[in-house]
Structure 1
Amino acid sequence: MSHSLRDPDRYCAVLGAEGVGLGRWHGRQHQWLGSRDFTCDATQPAWGPALDTLAALLTEHAPRGAALRVVLSARYSRFCLVPWSDAIGHPGELQAYARACFESLYGQPLDDWRIVLSPEPAGAARIATALPEALLQGLQALGVQSHLKLRSVQPYLMAAYNRCSAQLGQGDFLFVLAEPRRSVLLLAAGGAWQQVLAQGCADSDQALKALIERTCELYGEPLPQVYLHAPGRADIAELGAVQLCAAAGDADPLHAMWRAVA
Structure 2
Amino acid sequence: MSLSWRDELRVVLAPDQVVLVRLGWTLTRRGPTRRVEAKIVVDCTPGDGEVPWEEAIKTLETELPRVLVRKSVATVILSNHFMRYTLMPWSDGLSSAAEEEGYARHCFRQIYGAAAEQWELRLNPEPAGQPQLASAVDRRLLAALRAVFERKGVALASVQPRLMAAFNHCRPTLAKRSGWFVLYEPGCLCLALLQHGRLASVRTMRIGSDWRDTLSTVLDREIYLAEPGSATNEVYLWAPELGNAELPENGRWKIHNLRPTVRASLVPAYEGRFAMALSG
TM-score, shorter chain, exceeding 0.5: yes
Residue 228 to residue 63, structure 1, CA distance change in 2 (3 Å): same
Aligned partner of 2:241: which letter?
A: G
Aligned partner of 1:257: which letter?
A: M
* Higher Rg of the two aligned structures: 2
Of 224, 238, 257, 1:229 maps to 238
1:75 corresponds in structure 2 to 81
1:208 corresponds in structure 2 to 215
Q: Does 1:137 align with 2:143?
A: yes
Q: CA deviation at 1:209?
A: 2.8
Between the two proteins, the alignment pairs up a number of residues equal to 256
Aligned partner of 1:258: which letter?
A: A
Instruction: Write the mapping of 1:26-65 to structure 2, written as runs, cut at 5 A.
Output: 26-27=24-25, 28-31=34-37, 33-43=39-49, 45-65=51-71
Post-superposition CA distance 1:10-42 (Å, at most 9, x none):
111110231101011112212452111111442
Instruction: Write the mapping of 1:149-168 to structure 2, written as runs, cut at 5 A.
Output: 149-168=155-174
Listed as ranges, the gaps of 5+ residues in structure 2 are 26-33, 262-270
Alpha-carbon distance between aligned partners in 1 of 2:99 and 2:50, rounded to the nearest angstrom: 33
SS at match of 1:24: strand
Could you tell me the TM-score, scaled by structure 2's length?
A: 0.84
- Deviates further, 216-225 or 28-37: 216-225
Q: CA deviation at 1:181?
A: 0.8
1:12 corresponds in structure 2 to 10
Q: CA deviation at 1:87?
A: 1.6
Post-superposition CA distance 1:173-230 (Å, at most 9, x none):
2211111111111112256432111111224311223222321232243425321101
2:110 corresponds in structure 1 to 104
Q: CA deviation at 1:59?
A: 1.7
Of 147, 151, 171, 2:153 maps to 147
Where do 4+ consecutive residues of structure 1 move more than 4 Å? none
SS at match of 2:242: coil
SS at match of 2:254: coil
Q: CA deviation at 1:247?
A: 4.1
Listed as ranges, the gaps of 5+ residues in structure 1 are none
1:245 corresponds in structure 2 to 258
Alpha-carbon distance between aligned partners in 1 of 2:181 and 2:124, rounded to the nearest angstrom: 16
Residues 174 and 185 in structure 1, CA contact (< 8 A), matched pair in contact too: yes
Q: CA deviation at 1:108?
A: 2.8
